């Protein structure tokens, strides 16, 4: 039997099918340069991993916070599956150091790009799922998320929604959202937009409350994480 790779050791999982591990760690730029085309990259695994992480982290949040309502649970899940959170965990799980990229992507700093790291982590989890089943995937999520979720609690939501949304967009895209606000009788209606796309809507008895509600909806929808 081959010795586990550093990524496998850090993740606490040894693959039966090493080709799944190799594909999970192949960025599209590497696949195009070294493996014969983009179809050999981790992009399809990333698609599957996104769904698996959403389900398992959602389950963990639901279990940790039995007294919280749907809105709080949605915001907590959005935080723990965000690009920035996944990028941090990718380093802890050994994925960042093992990720293979093309020369151009590497030279441009792709190894530190949160989006690349988050995508690789999603692909890595999908590979674990395909190789070892849902029990193995859940064990991985428990290893890298459970303690953080329990320790941080709802404290991760202390920042107001507008600030949290702006920080996430600045981290990933180096841009900030815009808010469109209209008065509707005694209420204000707000829409938060980013790159021409509506991310969320809100209403309130003040402009500030309407904007906060719109930002909260954007965080719950998490649509900006799939631009």
Whether residue 16 is found in the same domain as residue 101: yes
Residues identified as active-site: 50, 122
Q: Facing residues of 178 across strands?
A: 193
27 and 127 in a single domain? The answer is yes
Cβ neighbours, 10 Å, residue 106: 15
Q: Are residues 77 and 178 in the same domain?
A: no
**pTM for the structure as a whole:** 0.71
Q: What is the mean pLDDT of the chain?
A: 87
Q: Are residues 137 and 183 in the same domain?
A: no
Are 171 and 140 contained in the same domain?
no
- Assess whether 64 and 135 both reside in one domain: yes
Q: Using one digit for the tens of pLDDT, what is the confidence trace for 152-208?
A: 888 877 667 888 788 788 777 888 899 999 998 889 999 999 999 999 999 988 888
Give the integer Cα–Cα distance in Å for 46 and 211. Answer: 32
**SS3 assignment, position 201:** strand
8 Å CB contact between 214 and 179? yes
Q: Per the structure block, which two tokens stand in for 31?
A: 């696949």
The answer to whether 112 and 83 are in contact (CB under 8 A) is: no
Q: Is the pLDDT of residue 2 over 60?
A: no
Of 11-15, 34-38, 202-206, which gets the smallest average pLDDT? 34-38
Mean of the pLDDT values across residues 121-128? 97
CATH number of the domain bearing residue 203: 3.30.160.20
Co-location of 177 and 134 in the same domain: no
Higher pLDDT among residues 95 and 170, named by residue: 95
Domain boundary pick from 99, 120, 153: 153
The first and second tokens of residue 71, run together, are: 């809105």
Q: What is the DSSP string of 32-56?
A: IIIISSGGGSSHHHHHHHHHHHHHH
Residues 90 and 169 in one domain: no
Which residues are CB-contacts of 3 (< 8 A; sequence separation ≥ 6)?
none
Rounded to an integer, the average pLDDT of 126-134 is 97
Per-residue model confidence (pLDDT) at position 63: 95
78, 180: one domain? no
Place of tokens 């279990």: 63
Tell me how far CA of residue 139 lies from CA of 97, 106, 146, in angstroms.
21, 31, 10
Check residue 83 and give its pLDDT: 84
Q: Under DSSP, is residue 200 helix (H, G, I), strand (E, B) or coil?
A: strand
Give the total number of structural domains in the chain: 2
Q: Is residue 227 part of a domain?
A: no
């Amino acid at each position: 039997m081959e010795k586990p790779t550093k990524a496998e050791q850090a993740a606490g999982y040894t693959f039966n099918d090493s080709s799944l591990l190799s594909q999970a760690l192949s960025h599209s730029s590497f696949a195009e340069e070294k493996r014969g085309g983009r179809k050999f990259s981790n992009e399809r695994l990333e698609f599957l991993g996104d769904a698996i992480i959403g389900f398992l982290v959602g389950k963990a949040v639901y279990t940790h916070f039995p007294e919280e309502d749907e809105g709080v649970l949605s915001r907590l899940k959005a935080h723990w599956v965000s690009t920035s959170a996944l990028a941090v965990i990718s380093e802890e799980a050994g994925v960042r150091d093992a990720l293979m990229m093309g020369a151009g992507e590497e030279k441009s700093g792709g190894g530190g790009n949160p989006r690349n790291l988050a995508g690789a982590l999603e692909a890595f989890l999908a590979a674990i799922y395909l190789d070892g089943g849902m029990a193995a995937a859940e064990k991985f999520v428990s290893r890298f998320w459970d303690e953080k979720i329990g320790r941080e609690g709802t404290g991760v939501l202390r920042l107001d929604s507008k600030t949290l949304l702006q920080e996430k967009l600045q981290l990933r895209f180096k841009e900030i959202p815009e808010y469109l606000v209209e008065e509707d009788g005694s209420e204000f209606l707000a829409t938060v937009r980013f790159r021409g796309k509506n991310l969320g809507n809100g209403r309130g008895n003040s402009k500030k409350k309407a904007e906060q509600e719109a930002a909260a909806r954007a965080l719950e929808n998490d649509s900006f994480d799939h631009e």
